[in-house]
Amino acid sequence: MASLDLDAMLQRFRDRAEAVRKRPLPPVAGEERQFFIKQAQTDFQDFAIIGDAVGSIEDGILVLRVDLRPEDQRG
């Protein structure tokens, strides 16, 4: 099995978050447009959270640590 490059994996998630943020709206209107916008917000949030993680492998288990505290409360 090839080794996992955690830094590269996390960078791909950061790149995906940025791509979602820059994704243009398709030519849809009404309910479909609202669904597309909501899905893009969810995708961005998910990719950004994982992209902000600090990753490690502990006893063969991938561990992603994400500090969700407000920036002024982080240690």
Instruction: List, for residues 39-53, the tens digit of each pLDDT value.
Output: 999 999 999 999 999
What value, to the nearest 5°, has the Cα angle with vertex 27 and ends 24 and 20?
A: 20
pLDDT of residue 1: 46
- Please list the ranges in the chain whose pLDDT falls under 50: 1
pLDDT of residue 62: 94
pLDDT of residue 5: 92
Structure tokens at 29: 């209107």
